[in-house]
Amino acid sequence: MLKITKFGGSSLADASRFLRVRDIVLSDISRRVVVVSAAGKRHAGDHKITDLLYLCHAHLSYGVSCWDLWRRICDRYIDIRNGCSLQYPIEQELERIYAGLSAQTSCDYIASRGEYLSARLMAELLGYTFVDSAEWLQFDYAGRVLYDESYANLQSLADGRKIVTPGFYGVLPNGAVHTFSRGGSDVTGSLAAAALHADLYENWTDVTGILAADPRIVANPASIAQLSYEELQALSRVGTQVLHESAVEPVRSRQIPLQIRSTWQPELPGTRIGLPSTDYSAEPSIVGFAGRRNLAMLRVASSDIGRRMGDILRTLSLAGLSVFHSACALEQLTVLIDLDGSSERLHECTERLRAQLPQAQLKLRENLSVLAALLRGPDLLPKLVAAVQANGVPVHYLADTRPCLLMIVNDSQYETALRAAYSVCQKNN
């Protein structure tokens, strides 16, 4: 049995958390490969090491000394080393890194040093071998992971040993460090699991799993016990953000289950992902909800909409607008657009479409949200919509995009809609 365990920044923010992670890892002999993030925030007003490193790069690129910021980073790691009673000469590592920094040092290299330092200390604390991800995780120049090469590298480096490897980065073909986008250590963990044909990828974080609803809106929502890969990806497309978006594919392609667990409550099972595709004839139930705010809905009605559809979507995309969902039925095209401060662009584009399609009727509605319900079984759809409407929330549009049902509501009524929908979920599960 082999488990790949990945710990996020909040699980590694200080020495006491490092010690907690050590206890979790050593409590199970199958936890032989550990992937770590940089140290995260210790408390609300604190800073993540990675944020400080990006700031160091910004200073250097403008020719400003980053010494003060660097001191803060050094202090954090020296404190962790001391608090864990380790002898590791981290000062030498820190001096070596600082001595190599200049205005020309790449942003990715600087940003990656948090994971590197965390992994050095964690390897020491666990008595595991440190394996630098620069030695196994390879990207091409377009930033795409070279799977075969990376997997073969890790297989020969790990070779049955107990290892700690840093998350978030790898190297380009010329050896320069390259990082994933933010939160990318999740992807490193998933790649390590796929490379080593692990039995389980455990992703340890600060939440008790994937929650059935946003806890800022619904009091004490339940954790979802099990999800299929497809269901997780469907929720993530709408807005659930527990894992990096690219973290599912490597484990999914090798059918390795993924478990989200809480470092604070290791006794809880968390959420397990990797059920076979959901059987819709199974007991109907509502699994959970995800939401996406600040959307606009454009509806174009025209008898020749089938022929016009491609042009309309192209016009929107050329205007830099991001289409979240589109559907065409009964001579009407409905497009949901993410409005990321691009309201003017949307209006401009709508006027352009009006001019291009003089026969068509165009209706634009803004200040909307989508409430997505992850359903297993079809029977609850009318109940959900009725519950939302009974609370005075009009549903402007409904799309059955299994496994998620999408309900479009006014943004100002999103919270009411979620609470109403969640109460149906509680009654039926």
- Which residues form the interface with ligand ASP (CB under 6 A)? 8-9, 37-38, 48, 50, 114, 167-168, 182-185
Calculate the alpha carbon distances from 224 to 18, 243, 277, 284 in Å. Answer: 27, 15, 16, 15
Shortest distance, position 383 Cβ to ligand ASP, whole Å:
39
Measured from the CB atom, is 9 or 291 closer to ligand ASP? Answer: 9
Location of structure tokens 């942003």: 107
When CB distances to ligand ASP are compared, the closest residue is 185
- Minimum Å gap between C-beta 48 and ligand ASP is 5
User: For residue 338, how many other CB atoms are within 10 A of its CB?
Assistant: 16
The three state secondary structure string of 397-429 is EEEEECCEEEEEEEHHHHHHHHHHHHHHHHHHC
Min CB(133)–ligand ASP separation in Å? 12
Provide, rounded to whole angstroms, the least separation between the CB of residue 180 and ligand ASP: 7
- Distance in Å, CB of 135 to ligand ASP, minimum: 19
Question: Residue 50 or 153: which CB sits closer to ligand ASP?
Answer: 50
Q: How far apart are CA 67 and CA 58, in angstroms?
A: 12
CB of 258 to ligand ASP, least distance (A): 15
Q: What distance lies between CA 9 and its chain's CA centroid?
A: 14
Q: Which residue, 37 or 334, has its beta carbon nearer to ligand ASP?
A: 37
Cβ proximity to ligand ASP: between 17 and 308 the closer is 17
Taking CA atoms, 381 is separated from 29, 284, 406, in Å, by 45, 10, 10
8 Å CB contact between 212 and 223? yes
CB of 120 to ligand ASP, least distance (A): 15
Nearer of residues 73 and 218 to ligand ASP, judged by Cβ: 73
Task: Report, in Å, the least distance between residue 9 CB and ligand ASP.
Answer: 5
Q: How far is the CB of 341 from ligand ASP (least distance, A)?
A: 23
Give the Å distances, CA to CA, from 242 to 233, 262, 321: 11, 12, 25
Closest to ligand ASP by CB, 168 vs 414, is 168
Judged by CB, which is closer to ligand ASP: 48, or 81?
Answer: 48
Residue 127 CB, shortest distance to ligand ASP, in Å, is: 24
Could you give the CA distance from residue 156 to residue 152 in angstroms, rounded to a whole number? 6
Residue 244 C-beta: closest distance to ligand ASP, Å: 7
Residue with Cβ nearer ligand ASP (37 or 350) = 37
Q: Which of residues 55 and 362 has its CB atom nearest to ligand ASP in the complex?
A: 55
Residue 260 contacts residue 271 (beta carbons within 8 Å): yes
230, 388, 414 from 217: Cα distances, Å = 25, 15, 10
How many CB atoms are closer than 10 A to CB 377? 16
Q: Which is nearer to ligand ASP, 50 or 233 (CB)?
A: 50
Alpha carbon 389 to chain centroid distance? 32
Nearer to ligand ASP, 39 or 380 (CB): 39
Rounded to whole angstroms, the Cα distance separating 179 from 153 reads 18
